[in-house]
């Protein structure tokens, strides 16, 4: 595990000086209430720099089809192991005894900022997901969109809660559509892809020119301590 450091996304600043692109999915130990962005970012006044000072380098950027307005998207992830110990798993691997009773559970929360023609924030949107990834599988199980309450919570859904939440949401065709319960996704593209797919969901598939691995700027994340307490690194 990467060394825990108090949140600022200052790690990006030194990389920005070299013009490097870096992974832009923040791995957090505990989520803040990301909807506080509505308090810290003022619609009609805050600009691109204000957003990047608070959230760091964007995970993705794109433009709306009809208005050609800029959209910046951020993926914030909590990923933890579940199941047997590493020693037990290692012995099972040596003996080719693999039963998928261990893996990772993942909570991902995305925040999207849409800018007007003057590059001032005009809209803030949120979309979150949770799922299980059994070891050895390329697919996410119990994949689901988070409710508003789940999104605002500082606590991640654990394995049992993900299964229970999935079952509770699986009550109607409307619920299946709303919470995307029939969807499966590949692990190796998961975090950035879910940020992109979530953006398409909230903006009704009206995005174009989507990019990832964006260059960092020297001011990225310098005010992130206003929102984030601790993050563990980049995934």
pTM of the model as a whole:
0.81
Cα dist from 221 to 13, 15, 28, 137, 199, whole Å: 8, 13, 14, 34, 22
pLDDT tens figures, 161-199: 999 999 999 888 888 888 988 765 554 446 888 898 899
Q: Point out which residues pair with 210 in neighbouring strands.
A: none
214 pLDDT more than 70:
yes
CA distance 227 to 32: 6
Pairing between strand 70-82 and 25-28? parallel
Tokens of 222: 């310098």
pLDDT tens figures, 13-51: 333 333 444 447 888 989 999 999 999 999 999 999 999
Alpha helices in the chain (DSSP H): 11-17, 37-40, 48-55, 86-94, 148-152, 159-169, 173-178, 190-202
Residue 99 in 3-state DSSP? coil
pLDDT at position 192: 84
129 pLDDT more than 80:
yes
- On whether the CB atoms of residues 111 and 37 are closer than 8 A, the answer is yes
- On whether the CB atoms of residues 126 and 151 are closer than 8 A, the answer is yes
Tell me the range of 64-73, 98-107, 132-141 where mean pLDDT is highest.
64-73
């Amino acid at each position: 595990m990467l060394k825990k450091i108090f949140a600022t996304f200052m790690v990006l600043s030194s990389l920005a000086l070299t013009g490097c692109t870096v992974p832009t999915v923040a791995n957090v130990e505990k989520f803040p209430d990301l909807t506080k962005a509505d308090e810290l970012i003022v619609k009609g006044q805050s600009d691109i720099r204000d957003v990047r000072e608070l959230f760091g380098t964007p995970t993705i950027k794109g433009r709306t089809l009809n208005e050609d307005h800029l959209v910046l998207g951020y993926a914030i992830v909590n990923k933890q192991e579940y199941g047997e110990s590493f020693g037990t798993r290692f012995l099972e691997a040596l003996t080719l005894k693999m039963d998928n009773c261990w893996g990772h559970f993942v909570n991902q929360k995305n925040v999207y900022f849409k800018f007007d023609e003057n590059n001032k924030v005009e809209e803030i949107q949120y979309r979150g997901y949770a799922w299980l990834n059994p070891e050895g599988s390329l697919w996410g199980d119990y994949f689901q969109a988070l409710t508003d309450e789940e999104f605002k919570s500082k606590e991640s859904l654990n394995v049992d809660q993900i299964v229970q939440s999935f079952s509770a949401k699986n009550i109607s065709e409307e619920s299946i559509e709303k919470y995307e319960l029939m969807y499966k996704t590949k692990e190796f593209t998961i975090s950035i892809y879910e940020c992109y797919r979530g953006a398409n969901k909230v903006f009704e598939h009206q995005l174009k020119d989507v990019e990832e691995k964006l260059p960092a700027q020297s001011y990225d994340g310098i005010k992130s301590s206003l929102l984030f307490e601790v993050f563990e690194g980049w995934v």
